[in-house]
């Protein structure tokens, strides 16, 4: 499935949008283009790239959003809303990753002593 429907709310009401997967290299990269199918200038047409870079002890998630809300003035006033949306999405990704991890150390009465 390389296209699917989504609803976006950027603080101005819900927009029915289409998301198209443009590039997918599991598990390292995912690129998605999002737009309103009835009017490509409606809402916030944009692309999102998620990229994971692995290191020895940690991994780094890069999240890039590019698009326009219609022009320089609109984009400037839209930036704080977009920052909030991005932070919310990153928090959801973080929670999904952490909830899927397995515990490396089993908690026993020796490791967790009651007060």
Domain ranges of the chain: 3-100
pTM over 0.85: no
Rg (CA), the chain: 19
Q: What is the pLDDT of residue 107?
A: 43
Q: What is the pLDDT of residue 112?
A: 41
The 29-35 sheet, strands edge to edge: 3-9, 14-25, 29-35, 46-54, 59-67
Contacts of 106 (CB under 8 A, 6+ apart): none
Q: What is the pLDDT of residue 10?
A: 67
Going residue by residue through the chain, which has 115 residues, state the pLDDT in tens, using 9 for 90 and above. Answer: 699 998 877 666 788 889 999 999 988 899 999 898 888 777 788 899 999 888 788 888 888 888 887 776 777 777 787 788 778 878 887 787 778 766 544 444 344 433 3
């Amino acid at each position: 499935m390389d296209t699917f429907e989504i609803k976006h709310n950027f603080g101005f009401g819900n927009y029915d949008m289409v998301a198209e997967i443009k590039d997918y290299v599991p598990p390292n990269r995912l690129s998605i283009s999002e737009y309103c199918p009835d009017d490509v200038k409606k809402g916030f047409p944009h692309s999102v790239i998620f990229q994971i870079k692995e290191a020895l002890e940690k991994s780094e998630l890069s999240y890039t959003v590019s698009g326009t809300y219609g022009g320089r003035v609109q984009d400037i006033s839209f930036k704080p809303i977009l920052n909030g949306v991005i932070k919310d999405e990153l928090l959801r990704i973080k929670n999904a990753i952490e909830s899927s991890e397995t515990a490396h150390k089993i908690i026993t009465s020796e490791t967790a002593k009651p007060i």
